[in-house]
């Protein structure tokens, strides 16, 4: 190959490596890959130009290694050789990150969190274990509780670290999920209708306190650390649930309406179409509410004369409603029967559906789109979900 042919080939190469070409490549790929390709192209051009001019270039031995995926590679500048300056084609492009991201992945993606289970029926057993399970993993056995609280009022904190329960005597206890750090917080606490419910920050419990004569009148917030109780006017009913924004929803307990209010009891309103005069449905069991307080998962039943007076907790869900309009939220369940539903911190919903003798969990993002589904282990078939946490 003669010098004239080499110079022509190098000129063609310089024309191919244009700012537009490098920019397009960067926009079509990730920033990391774009930078690596640009560095490789520049290195090749330097070697060829050096051969054409008779100038030798050495690659520094301390050049940084390939970057760890997900990091930006650093390029150490080489000192200019004293023999002659490095030739470069006019209009050489500067390497810069693309102006906009072209990732096809959504900014956030819903995933299954950790689910906690309690027994549905305990039979004659004196105690029963709680379990936790993350779809894709193996169920983990947690602490054993007295059978009644395990079934009727055990509540796992939103941070997934502690569990609270009320014994039939009215003693309110908390502990870690493995049973360690067990501590009694209060006596004479309602263990049925207004069973303990954690606040979104896992620092308080909503409880109803009683008197020695067995009556219950004071409902409010109990600080888990100090044991201090603050009564809240307007908290009256059964089975409260908390939204991350401070909204509280609970069944009225008398006429089948569902009340929505804030943590101070102010701004009370009822969900349309439940319990009001002429409505088709009533509800006495609320299971979960979305972080923004706009959707609620509950068990509604046809109005009749025999649908009143049951204060026991029931976590079955057969409807998800808009709390402002009372309209039913359509879920992509593929025609399967909805049995339970829990909102997660990101606004997604975990729906437990029954198909034959098995249960399946369907993950639905906050836009109402099905994201994934997982078959539930058969060992959990006789249990019910009591919490869904991160």
Residues whose CB falls within 8 Å of the CB of residue 241, separated by 6 or more in sequence, listed in order: 197, 248, 249, 250, 286, 287, 288, 289, 296
Q: For the chain, what's the residue count?
A: 390
Cα distance between residue 289 and residue 323, in whole Å: 9
Q: Count CB neighbours of 308 within 10 A.
A: 13
**Alpha carbons within 13 A on the beta-carbon side of 294:** 7
Q: What is the mean pLDDT of residues 167-187?
A: 97
Read off the pLDDT of residues 273-295 as tens digits, 9 standing for 90 and up.
Answer: 999 888 999 999 999 999 999 99
Q: What is the pLDDT of residue 211?
A: 84
Read off the pLDDT of residues 134-144 as tens digits, 9 standing for 90 and up.
Answer: 999 999 999 99
Query: Which 8-state DSSP code applies to residue 85?
Result: P
Percent of the chain with pLDDT over 70: 71
Query: Which of 53-62, 191-200, 231-240, 350-359 shows the lowest per-residue confidence on average (mean pLDDT)?
Result: 53-62
pLDDT band at 309 (very low <50, low <70, confident <90, very high): low
CA-based Rg of the chain, rounded to a whole angstrom? 31
Average pLDDT taken over every residue of the chain: 78
Q: What is the pLDDT of residue 355?
A: 82
DSSP 88-142: --TTPPPP---SS----S-SS-----EEEEEES--TT-SEEEEEEE-TTS--EEE
Q: Is the pTM of this model over 0.85?
A: no
**Nearest of 204, 230, 202, 201 to residue 218 by alpha carbon:** 230
User: What burial class does residue 243 get, using C-beta atoms within 10 Å of its C-beta: 0-12 exposed, 13-18 middle, 19+ buried?
Assistant: buried
Higher pLDDT, 81 or 321: 321
| pLDDT surpasses 50 at 15 | no
Q: Are 384 and 133 in contact (CB under 8 A)?
A: no
Q: What is the pLDDT of residue 214?
A: 79
Longest dimension (CA), the chain: 109
């Amino acid at each position: 190959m003669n010098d004239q042919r080499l110079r022509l080939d190098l000129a063609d190469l310089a024309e191919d490596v244009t700012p537009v070409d490098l920019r397009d490549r960067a926009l079509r790929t990730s920033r990391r890959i774009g930078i690596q390709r640009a560095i490789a192209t520049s290195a090749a051009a330097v070697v060829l130009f050096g051969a054409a001019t008779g100038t030798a270039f050495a690659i520094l031995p301390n050049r940084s290694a390939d970057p760890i995926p997900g990091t930006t590679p650093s390029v150490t500048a080489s000192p200019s050789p004293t023999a002659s300056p490095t030739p470069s084609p006019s209009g050489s492009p500067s390497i810069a990150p693309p102006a906009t991201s072209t990732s096809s992945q959504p900014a956030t993606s819903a995933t299954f969190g950790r689910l906690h289970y309690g027994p549905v029926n305990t039979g004659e057993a004196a105690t029963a274990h709680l379990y936790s399970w993350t779809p894709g993993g193996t169920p983990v056995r947690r602490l054993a509780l007295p059978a009644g609280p395990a079934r009727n009022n055990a509540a796992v904190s939103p941070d997934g670290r502690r569990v609270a329960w009320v014994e039939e005597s009215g003693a309110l206890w908390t502990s870690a999920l493995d049973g360690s750090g067990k501590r009694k917080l209060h006596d004479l606490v309602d263990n049925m209708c207004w069973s303990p419910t954690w606040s979104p920050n896992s620092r308080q419990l909503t409880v109803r306190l009683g008197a020695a004569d067995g009556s219950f009148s004071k409902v409010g917030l109990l600080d888990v650390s100090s044991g201090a109780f603050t009564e809240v006017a307007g908290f009256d009913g059964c089975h409260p649930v908390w939204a991350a924004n401070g909204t509280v929803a609970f069944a009225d307990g008398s006429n089948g309406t569902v009340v929505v209010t804030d943590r101070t009891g102010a701004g009370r309103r009822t969900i349309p179409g439940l319990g009001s005069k002429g409505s088709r449905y009533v509800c006495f069991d609320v299971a979960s509410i979305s972080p923004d307080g706009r959707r609620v998962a509950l068990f509604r039943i046809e109005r009749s004369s025999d649908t009143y007076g049951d204060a026991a907790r029931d976590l079955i869900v057969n409807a998800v409603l808009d709390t402002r309009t009372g309209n039913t939220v359509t879920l992509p369940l593929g025609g399967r029967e909805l049995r339970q539903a829990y909102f997660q911190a990101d606004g997604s919903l975990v729906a437990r559906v029954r198909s034959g003798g098995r249960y399946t969990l369907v993950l639905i993002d906050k836009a109402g789109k099905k994201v994934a589904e997982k078959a539930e282990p058969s060992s959990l078939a006789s249990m019910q979900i009591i919490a869904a946490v991160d």
